[in-house]
Amino acid sequence: MKLPKIRELIEAIKALIQGPYTSKFPKEPHVAHPNFRGQPKFNDQKCVGCLACEAVCPVYAIAHKDEIDENGKAKRTMIHYTDTCIFCGECEAACIANHEGIKLSNDWDLAFFDRKESYETIEKELQLCEICKAPIACKDHLKWISERIGELEYSSPTLYLSGLNNMGVIDENMMTALKDFGRSDRVKMLCARCRRETTLTTK
Ligand code: SF4
Ligand code: SF4
């Protein structure tokens, strides 16, 4: 007969005294270890909608959708697909918002009955180009850039108009009025293509 090793005997005695290592899930909720790498969660207060996490995700578990409603309001929906994610943490490592826009959680109970429940979303407001209406970036992302480059933001009408609008110094009506002046096409929030075209135009 093969005798148990000392280590196995110690473990068996410990289990008798302390109880089993396994939890009684699903009868009782299971609390994961603090270092457990569970599904990442977006933080809509911290995320600026820059798409860096989408670019680095190795399995395409992050995607986005840009939409404009009938009133001209535009939003970016950030989507995380739980059933595709491999919990590698690359998104958190690449997040420009101090790694807090998306973070691994210790949420491990990911079972679902309906595949439609297998993703999570947050929404961010988008800034559109005033000429062609293409998305430039999320408004929070423009603010994030302005905060980092300081006074250099005044070299870009898109950034300083966005900053003045955020501060409440100008509003949508004043921005509309700016459009009536002759050279005002350059003093607008523009996408890269329209910025280039208005800069090069001889009109
Ligand atoms: S943890 Fe990895 S796989 Fe999951 S969303 Fe982030 S980058 Fe993609
Ligand atoms: S701020 Fe972070 S979480 Fe938000 S889109 Fe950028 S990288 Fe992703």
Residue 199's pLDDT is: 78
Instruction: Output the CA–CA distances (angstroms, integers) from residue 90 to 46, 99, 197, in the order listed.
Output: 17, 10, 37
Residue with CA nearest ligand 1 atom 2: 88
Distance (Å) of CA 39 to CA 55, 87, 88: 18, 6, 9
Atom of ligand 1 nearest to the CA of 94: 7
Domain boundaries, the chain: 36-126, 129-203
DSSP 98: T
20 token code pair: 């089993």
For the entire predicted model, the pTM comes to: 0.81
pLDDT in tens, 131-159: 888 999 999 999 999 999 988 888 888 88
Distance CA 185, CA 181 (A): 8
Q: Which residues of 130-139 are buried (b: 16+ CB within 10 A; e: fewer)?
A: bbeeebbbbb
> How far apart are the CA of 42 and the centre of ligand 2, in A?
8
What is the fold of 36-126?
Alpha-Beta Plaits (3.30.70)
Tell me the ligand closest to 53's alpha carbon: 2
* 21 CA from centroid of ligand 1 (Å): 29
* Residue pLDDT, tens place only, 44-100: 999 999 999 999 999 999 999 999 998 888 999 999 999 999 999 999 999 999 999
User: Could you tell me if the CB of 157 is within 6 A of ligand 2?
Assistant: no
102 lines ligand 2 (CB under 6 A): yes
Question: Which residue has 């070299």 as its token pair?
Answer: 155
- The CA 51 to ligand 1 mean position distance, Å, reads 13
